[in-house]
Amino acid sequence: MQFRVNYVMVQPPILTAQLIDVKRRAMRHGAWFRVLGKTERAIINLTIHCVERVRSSKLAEIVTAILNKLTENTKSQVKRLIESVGRRLAQKISQTAQKWGNKTAKQWAEDFGFIQYLAIMQINTHSFFTAQ
């Protein structure tokens, strides 16, 4: 079981320091109270105060789900666009270039720099951001 914390994959056991870091980040972004219910906040708080690391697979599963929820909701809008719009555009362009015979184009769909570039270009061409 893995969960993402700022694009870093973490394997159990989940350490208290990791929980504190994610909680602090979520509170800064306002996601702690907006996203989590009272029970979920209590689970994280009790885990922080009662254990040094999570050993129970069931508790790890519950905490992982909560952490994934927080991590997803603390991402910036640009990061979300990079993951959704940029990746989709990179895959389309890669497939088109492969059809035209470009053998290296297959790698484009996974190139983060290219994905990021396409997402930023899409943001800048959106009618909301262009001069009228």
pLDDT tens digits for range 39-61: 999 999 999 999 998 888 899 99
Q: What phi and psi values does residue 9 have, to the nearest 5 degrees?
A: -80, 130
Residues 8 and 36 in one domain: yes
Residue 131 located in a structural domain: no
| Residue 76 backbone zone (phi > 0: left; psi -120 to 50: alpha; other: beta) | beta
Residue range 99-115: mean pLDDT, rounded:
92
Residue 93 located in a structural domain: yes
Q: Taking the CB of residue 115, how many other CB atoms lie within 10 A of it?
A: 21
Domain that includes residue 29, residue range? 3-75
**pLDDT tens-place string over residues 63-103:** 999 998 988 888 777 787 888 888 999 999 999 999 999 98
pTM of structure: 0.59
Secondary structure class of 91 (helix, strand, coil): helix
Number of separate domains in the chain: 2
Residues 59 and 71 in one domain: yes
Residue 96 located in a structural domain: yes
Give the residue from 45, 60, 75 where a domain finishes: 75
Q: 80 near 88, Cβ under 8 Å?
A: no
| Residue 30 backbone zone (phi > 0: left; psi -120 to 50: alpha; other: beta) | left
H helix runs in the chain, sequence order: 16-29, 31-35, 38-50, 57-73, 77-81, 87-99, 112-125
Q: 26 near 70, Cβ under 8 Å?
A: yes
